[in-house]
Structure 1
Amino acid sequence: MTVTGTPNTITELVGQFATASPDRLDASYHQLVRAAWDNGELTLLASPVAEEIVSRLERVDDLRKAYLAELAGLLVQAEVPDTGGPVTTVLRAELDRFLALWRGTNRQQPLYWALLYLLSHFPGDRDRVLATAREVGLDPDDQSRLERSLDELDPEAPVLGRVFPYPAAYDEMSSSEKDFDNTWIRTLSRIQIVSQWHNDIESVRGHAGAKAFYAIRHGAPTPVTPDDQPPRVAEPPDADDPALFGPHLTALRCPRCRGKLTVRQGAAECSCGTGFPITKGILNLLDSTGGSGDLLSQLATISTMSYFYEVYARPAFRRLCGMNWEDQVDHEWEQAYIAEHVRPVDGPVLDLAAGSGMWTNTLAELVGADRVIGLDIAPGPLASLRDRRPDVAAVVASAGSLPFDDASVGAVVCWDALQAFPEVAPAAIAEVGRCLRPGGSFTLYTFENAENEIYRHFLRSNRFPNHKDGLTLFDRADLEAWLAHARLEVVDAQLPGQQYIITAVKQG
């Protein structure tokens, strides 16, 4: 806990915030926040600030009420898991006032979203909060997040994971997927269960906080709309024909010795004696045993989750990380950008970190399936890619060490993926620069770190498999430096919100 200011200063800061002009309101608010809260930690003046919030709440307009409700939520969250801390005690005593205020709002008002965030922190009053939530008419996604945030942990039968984009999205899980979840949970120790539980709760509250932050400063977010999944292409007769890789053999290289590969049914081989399995049209360059058994076992675990990720999770991630709460960038916008800016020279067109192939499909329609190759480090999603585009070759390999010859690739697209492997990102961009032919385009969509410490805190509250310590994104200066070092010159940049969308060209 840090110390900032004095109690008299707190009264003055709250007074300045209450009377600030519109152009000074946000800056005045941040002065108040910094007096009580420091990057997720309370200062010694947090309790006086909480008392001032209670004192001033009825004497300010609705926008200032929304700011104060956001701050109250930040202060309570900083005391979690202690539900009886001094700040929480002060603010919980005002729960009836908060609930009454909420009943008088609607989703077009910032106060509606700020109170949703604040009220998600009082599990001891779950029934009262949820009863009011039914009155104000939450959307199903926010309703399920609120319910999870107010749940109590049952260590004997814990409900863990499946919180992003919102818990209710998983209601249609198949029995096999539920069995997989239960198997995973049974492997956890009691300490791990508690840790995962708190991470889940922190994630859903962080999402509510991010949405409130946006509403206060920019207006009400639009309801989330699932993306459309591209249709599955009818499977051609010989989808597993090794000739599928023929157009790419001039560029593909052995990851061990950088020698050329030859392909036959079921395998690719290098003159150095290393073999790699090809299973269901997927070449696994991370498996040098030459056998397909392990790859088959990994592909067999795939279910509907790739579809779920594309249709539900990805648009929610785009909204959260890109501050894209009004869907300024939507699926149609993305497709149009790729169609306009991907300009390959000779050579394969690489979908880097292709996942289950949403953008592979777009590229195949743009340049022809025989020119496209999808690459990902995970075999599972590539099985979905091959189901969708059996006329496109797929490769299991690392983005940090691309299996292509120098200056052999005609274009690279890495769309909404770089943030999934942040530690490898500098090496991945360097590899793109190495593999691209001069004049070839690199089209990139990722996300920048929030400059605002509050929104950055809400993002960091979200836990993902590749961000177990909290979600962090990229600094623009780093992205620009990596591109320049790879001799990639940016020729187009679209930077809405915190979205970093560029096309660069490899220099000769």
Structure 2
Amino acid sequence: MSVPTAHAAAGLVDAFVDAFADAAPERRAAEYRALVDALWSDGELSPQALSAVPALVAGLERAHPGARGHLAVLLGLLAEAEYPTTAGPVTREVRAHLGLYLELVRTEGIGTPLTLALLYLLSHFPADRDEILAAVLELGLEPEDLSRLDRSLSELDPERPDLGRVWPSPSAWTLNEDERAFDRSWIAALTPRQIAAAWENDTRTVLGCTGARAYWAVCNGDPENLPAATVPDRSHAAAPAADTSLFAPHAAALRCPACHGALEPAGASFVACSGCAARYPAANGILDLTAPAAGDGAVDDFLEKLSQVPSMGLFYEAVARPAFLRVSGANWGGAVAPADEDRYIAEHVRPVDGPVVDLAAGAGRWTAVIAEAVGADRLVAVDSSLPMLNVLRDRLPEVPSVLAGAADLPFADASVGAVVCWNALQAFYHEAEAAITEVGRVLRPGGTFTLMTFRRSEDPVYRYFQSAHRFPQHDGGLQLFEIDDLRRWLADAGLTVREESGPGTFVFVTAVREH
């Protein structure tokens, strides 16, 4: 009984492959979806996957050039489903046809989409690293593509592990000596198991980016390459100084995170609570509300932190953030440019009385846009990352910054004129509903909440590549939103959506606190 069933399954898979390989362009997406669904679902293999590989390879040889890239991506997905094993039965069967893949990738005139799809497929065979790299070195690849391939084909050296500097590509990182020392210190503290897990997370992130770029290309055409980015000087020239004066204009809105009492500057070094007498250190225009200060030495500790924080914020703004928009927003064609984001903020942020809060402000690129729209004197930047706020303060010395979380905003009820949360809600995915509830609480009637985030792709293959990325706050994979959840959370917070838009998987929303 099992033999006829196996034959029937093989015949069905052959039919799916033939239907896709022979499909007219307008039917290609639907036929590919049927083929994928028959063999793979969200990183898991179907029972037919192993027996389907020869048919997929045969299709790769004979299909129309416009369909070959899809099949190469699918073969890569089947191999990746067995990772971290790189010698499982499906991977071995896919790898058995390495000669064909290398012949195809060397073929002149195959075009960028198919080349990128083959690079993704080849990324799964570290045992053939030297042969693969030799085959692609003459292709004139973009440095980011070549460095991702090189990293995917590398194997962990437990004695000298190279961790953490793979996003958006290893070639994007140029470290100074302080940053190298910082890397050595945190890696040295890891156990062998943690090192192995970090290496696997890095590999999945690289494969996710390679796959997302390739799959978008085979579906849409040549991706737009980002211009070369320059990371500003990492050195911190000015020593931080204690200062609370920037917070005085916003004292009426600020509230103690411990008891919700009013906060007032208490000399140059601290802001104090009138309710519970908690004191919080302030320096360099940054107020630390993460925990009450313990003694007068707390401000010295805070100054020390400010002078020593790694400069990730500079790299994030120049390199990581533009790449993140490409993966999360399916923005490989540049449908959303920075100017589009600037324009949306300028047109939709409409504050009433009270401060304007840039929630999860990061390194301040969009804080500057908000400042131009509403005036820097009205702005308060809030973020939970000290390195990010350090960069923001260098860029915008007139804007006070608060170190605090999004799920318990340090502002009084109905005290804020507007809130902006730009490309940040996904960074605290599990607290997003609580954060939106807090925004509804602190907004005055008529105040706007303007946000940009990302939704999960409706395409299961692209959605898989989105979630493959393991960032520090997403160890289990990047999590993005369902649009219905965002709408429900906004409504529950008393916010009425006035505008909702976004190409690809972008989500632009402006909501208003009506009452």
User: Under TM normalisation by the shorter chain, which class is it?
Assistant: over 0.9
Deviation by residue 1:81-127 (Cα, 9 ceiling, x = unmatched) = 33332222222222121112112255854211111110111111112
Q: 1:64 aligns with which of 63, 67, 72?
A: 67
8 Å CA contact retained: 1:239, 1:391: no
Q: Which runs of 5+ in 1 are unaligned?
A: none
| Structure 2: distance between partners of 1:352 and 1:105 | 50
Tell me which of 77, 82, 86 is aligned to 1:79.
Answer: 82
In 2, the alpha carbon distance for the partners of 1:451 and 1:253 equals: 41
Structure 1 residues 285 and 389: CA distance shift in structure 2, 3 A: same
Match for 1:275: what amino acid? R
- Quick check: 1:108–1:219 contact (8 Å CA) kept in 2? no
Corresponding position: 1:352 with 2:359: yes
Deviations 1:133-190 (A, max 9, x none): 22221101111111100112111111111110111111x2111101111111111111
The structure 1 residue matched to 2:481, chosen from 474, 481, 485, is 474
**Could you tell me which of 88, 103, 106 is aligned with 1:103?**
106
Moved more, 123-132 or 437-446: 123-132
- Identify the match of residue 285 of structure 2 among 281, 284, 294: 281
Coordinate RMSD, CA, aligned: 2.3
CA distance in 1, matches of 2:443, 2:388: 25
Q: CA deviation at 1:239?
A: 8.4
Is it true that 1:317 corresponds to 2:324 in the alignment? yes
> Quick one: structure 1 residues 254 and 107, their matched pair in 2 at CA, closer, same or farther if it must change by over 3 Å?
farther
For 2:418 and 2:176, locate their aligned partners in 1 and report how far apart those are by CA, in whole Å: 38
Choose the corresponding residue for 1:179, options 157, 170, 181: 181
Q: Quick one: structure 1 residues 229 and 245, their matched pair in 2 at CA, closer, same or farther if it must change by over 3 Å?
A: farther
Q: What residue is the counterpart of 1:496 in the other structure?
A: 503
Q: In 2 relative to 1, CA 325–206 (structure 1 residues): closer, same or farther, beyond 3 Å?
A: same
Aligned 8 A contact 1:443 1:502 in 2: yes
Q: Is the 8 A contact 1:230 1:361 kept in 2?
A: no
CA distance in 2, matches of 1:66, 1:224: 22
Report whether the alignment pairs 1:438 with 2:441.
no
Structure 2 residue aligned with 1:460: 467
SS at match of 2:430: coil
Contact map agreement 2:241 2:283 (CA 8 A) in 1 = no
Contact 1:417-1:446 at 8 Å conserved across structures: yes
Q: Which aligned pairs between 1:17-32 and structure 2 lie closer than 5 A? A: 17-32=20-35
Q: 2:18 aligns with which of 9, 15, 19?
A: 15
1:404 equivalent in alignment to 2:411: yes
CA deviations over 1:205-226 (Å, ceiling 9, x no partner): 1111111111111111110236
1:193 match: 195
**C-alpha distance 43-289 of structure 1, shift in aligned 2 (>3 A):** same
Q: Does 1:216 align with 2:218?
A: yes
- Distance in structure 2 (CA, Å) of the matches to 1:101 and 1:125: 16
What TM-score do the two structures reach when normalised by structure 1?
A: 0.94
Q: Is the 8 A contact 2:120 2:214 kept in 1?
A: yes
1:70-469 alignment to 2 at 5 Å?
Answer: 70-104=73-107, 108-170=111-173, 172-225=174-227, 241-263=243-265, 264-271=267-274, 272-289=276-293, 291-469=298-476
**Secondary structure of 1:79's match?**
coil
Range that drifts further, 47-56 or 88-97? 88-97
Supply the AA of the counterpart residue of 1:78.
A
- Percent identity, aligned pairs only? 48
Task: Give 3-state SS (helix, strand or coil) of 2:470's partner.
Answer: coil
Q: Secondary structure at the match of 2:196?
A: helix
Question: Could you tell me whether the CA contact under 8 Å between 1:348 and 1:372 is conserved in 2?
Answer: yes
The 2-side partners of 1:404 and 1:50 are apart by 58
Unaligned runs of 5+ in 2: none
Residue 226 of structure 1 contacts residue 315 of structure 1 at CA under 8 Å; is this kept in 2? no
CA 1:107–1:17: 2 relative to 1, 3 Å? closer
CA contact (8 A) 2:280 2:289 kept: yes
Aligned residues between the structures: 502
What amino acid is aligned across from residue 161 of structure 2 in structure 1? P
The residue type equivalent to 1:466 in the other structure is Q
Contact 1:412-1:436 at 8 Å conserved across structures: yes
Q: How does the TM-score come out when normalised to structure 2?
A: 0.93
| Aligned residues of 2:433 and 2:489 also touching (Cα < 8 A) | yes
Shift of 1:477: 0.5
Kept in 2, the 8 Å contact 1:266–1:279? The answer is: yes
Q: Distance in 1 between matches of 2:221 and 2:402?
A: 43
